[in-house]
Amino acid sequence: MPLRNYRSAAAFGPALRHLERVLERVTGAVRIYPAAMGESHPH
């Protein structure tokens, strides 16, 4: 995997957690469940 992909992957987790916290605060939700379908990549 190229270095830029490792950086992107490393940055994705904190960015996702930030968005989850914003959604929890704005919606009042107790939990946020992210889901990834992975339909753009062949299996």
Q: What is the pLDDT of residues 9-42, one digit of tens each?
A: 788 889 999 999 999 999 999 999 988 777 776 6
Rounded Cα distance, 17 and 42, in Å? 27
**What's the one-letter identity of residue 24?**
E
35 domain-assigned:
no
Kindly compute the dihedral angle of the four CA atoms of residues 17, 20, 21, 22, in this order, to the nearest 10 degrees: 120
Is residue 10 in some structural domain? yes
Domain assignment present for 37:
no
Would you say residue 30 lies in a domain?
Answer: no
> Is 29:23 a contact under the CB 8 Å cutoff?
yes
The answer as to whether 9 is a domain residue is: yes
pLDDT at 21: 94
pLDDT of 19 reads 93
Domain extent, residue 11, equals 1-25
Residue at 39: amino acid letter: E
Q: Is 32 within 8 Å of 20 (Cβ atoms)? A: yes
For residue 8, being part of any structural domain is answered with: yes
